[in-house]
Amino acid sequence: MRVAITGSTGLIGSALVQALRWGGDEVVRLVRHEPRSSDERQIFPDERRIADPGLSDVDAVVNLAGSSIAGGRWTQQYKRDMLASRISMTETVVAALAEDGRCQRFVSGSAIGYYGPTGDHAVDESAPAGDDFLANVVVAWEKAASAAPVPTVFVRTGHVMTPRGGYIGAQLLPFKLGLGGQVRDGRHWVSWISLDDEVAAIRWLLTNEVTGAFNLTAPHPVTNARWTKAMGAALHRPTVIPFPVPVAAALFGSDFVEEAMLSSQWVLPNRLEDAGFEFRDNEIEAALARLLQD
pLDDT tens track for 201-214:
999 999 999 999 99
Which whole number is the average pLDDT over 142-159?
A: 98
pLDDT at 246: 84
pLDDT at 69: 83
How far is the C-alpha of 110 from the C-alpha of 145, rounded, in Å? 10
pLDDT band at 84 (very low <50, low <70, confident <90, very high): very high
| pLDDT higher than 70, residue 231 | yes
Mean pLDDT estimate for the chain: 94
Q: Among 29, 1, 3, 2, which residue's Cα sits nearest to residue 14?
A: 29
CA-CA-CA-CA torsion sign (68, 69, 73, 78): positive
pLDDT at 294: 61
Which whole number is the average pLDDT over 116-127?
A: 96
Per the model's pLDDT, the better-predicted residue between 99 and 67 turns out to be 99
- Burial class from Cβ neighbours inside 10 Å (0-12, 13-18, 19+) for residue 146 reads middle
pLDDT tens track for 253-291:
787 778 778 899 999 999 999 999 999 999 999 999 999
Q: Can you give the residue ranges of every domain in the chain?
A: 2-291
User: What predicted TM-score, i.e. pTM, was given to this entire model?
Assistant: 0.95
> pLDDT over 90 for what percent of the chain?
85
Domain 2-291 fold: Rossmann fold (3.40.50)
